[in-house]
Amino acid sequence: MTRTAAITEAITTLQDAENRFGFVRVEDEKFFPEWYEGLSEITEVEKASVDVVRRRYLYHRAGGDLLEGTVLLLLVSPILALSGFYDPPFRIKAESSVELVLDDGEEILRGRIDVLVLQNQLWVMVLESKKTTLSVWAAVPQALAYMMANPNPSKPVFGMLTNGDDILFVKVTQTNTPQYDLSRVFAPFASARELYAVLQILKRIGELISSAS
């Protein structure tokens, strides 16, 4: 009999993700250079726009902890817009359903991606948010599971994970053995420069995907 479970319940640790999907972490700079290599400088106008986003976030954050929906509204959505992911050739899907069939159909895992960025049918980026009371690391196991649902496993897919205070990038490839690696943690709560870097990385990923199509 087929067992059905929610990804949020079945995949709660990195060990779960690695055991269920055979993930191997590749701690090699050549595997995930997109978060630090070839980044273009952002303009003063872009910096000013980022400053507005950060200022609004800090204003609301000063009032207490924020839920994931508020983090998406205040931080993720405007940064995606500034990065160009709301414009052609990209499309945005919110609360996108995913289903993973494991063990030759014996188990089905289901979940919803907070925000999915696509170019045609190609997954570009998975966005996963958590409320500010949770560590950004808590989003990693589920994001890895969601990224395994990429319908184009021959192509890499990127993730941006955030609890608002911190932002983390992840890259997944599925050619042969599923592999992943992580960026450093960026802390826009601490410095505007951290959010500038996040914008640079997002723009870089967008440029690479567009040029590869």
For 130-157, the pLDDT digits (tens) are: 898 889 999 999 999 999 999 889 999 9
pLDDT at 213: 59
Block residue for tokens 């709660």: 12
Taking every pair of C-alpha atoms in the chain, what is the biggest distance, in angstroms?
Answer: 59
Expressed as residue numbers, the domain containing 172 is 3-212
> How many domains does the structure of the chain reveal?
1
DSSP class of 141: H
Six token digits for residue 125: 């980026």
pLDDT at 207: 92
- Measured CA to CA, the distance from residue 103 to residue 25 in angstroms comes to 22
pLDDT tens sequence across 77-90: 999 999 999 999 99
pLDDT at 122: 77
What is the CATH classification number for the domain harbouring 68? 3.90.1570.30
Six token digits for residue 139: 């989003």
All residue ranges of the chain with pLDDT < 50 are: none
- Measured CA to CA, the distance from residue 146 to residue 11 in angstroms comes to 10
pLDDT at 119: 87
- Measured CA to CA, the distance from residue 133 to residue 207 in angstroms comes to 33
pLDDT at 200: 98
Q: What's the burial of 58, exposed, middle or buried (CB within 10 Å: 0-12/13-18/19+)?
A: middle
